[in-house]
Amino acid sequence: MENEIIYKIVLDTFSSTIKRASKLIESFSDEQLSQEVSASKNTGHYLLGHLIAVHDNMLPLLGFGESLYPELLEIFVKNPDKSELPKPSIEQLRTQWNEVNNTVLSQLKSLTPTQWLAKHTAVSDEDFAKEPHRNKLNVVLSRTNHLSYHLGQIGLLKN
């Protein structure tokens, strides 16, 4: 079916953006990632945790089961960098980054075209009937752009 190529393109775009982010993150030492991306802005440490938490949250959102590290939401999404909440170490986050992304991507690869267009779990059946665009495809597009947004910031840590 024609649409299969579309889902492949969308998934490949998400996957290659993750690869690009991973490469960048791996190129930085823990000390470099501890820096702010710009004066008085978020650190690479916070942004890394933030991205993991957002991707991890895709698991329940897309009906793939529970998040692997639900505690990250409080530290890295509901609170700012300077909250003083203790953060997992960068070393730990590097491992979680790979684990969460591998889990999300492998689940996405299993979606059928019908599932791609099905509603995500944060929209009711009634609302979805009126807003059929609130589907899993839309979530993946949105998270890819979210990742790109922060990748642009993390890239500023390069000397």
Is residue 80 a contact residue for a second copy (CB under 8 A)?
Answer: no
**Does residue 52 contact residue 103 with C-beta atoms inside 8 Å?**
no
Q: Is 149 in the site for a second copy (CB under 8 A)?
A: yes
- Residue 129 touching a second copy (CB under 8 A): no
Amino acid at 12: D
Q: How far is the CB of 68 from a second copy (least distance, A)?
A: 25
Residues facing 119 on adjacent strands: 135
> Partners of 36 in the beta sheet?
43
In this complex, which beta carbon is closest to a second copy, that of residue 70 or of residue 152? 152
Q: Is 73 in the site for a second copy (CB under 8 A)?
A: no
Give the tokens for residue 37. Answer: 């991306």
Residue 127: CB minimum distance to a second copy, A: 16
CA angle 146, 64, 18 (to 5 degrees): 35
Contact yes or no for 51/97 (Cβ under 8 A):
yes
Interaction pattern, residues 95-114, with a second copy; x per rule: CB under 8 A: ------------------x-
- 83 part of the interface to a second copy, by CB under 8 A: no
| CB of 89 or CB of 145, closer to a second copy | 145
113, 121, 119, 114: which is closest to 132 by C-alpha?
119
Residue closest to 59 by CA, chosen among 10, 138, 121: 121
If binding means CB under 8 A, how many residues of this protein chain bind a second copy?
A: 34
The residue ranges that bind a second copy (CB under 8 A) are 2-3, 5-6, 8-10, 12-13, 17, 37-39, 41, 113, 117, 132-133, 135, 137-138, 141-142, 144-146, 148-153, 155-156
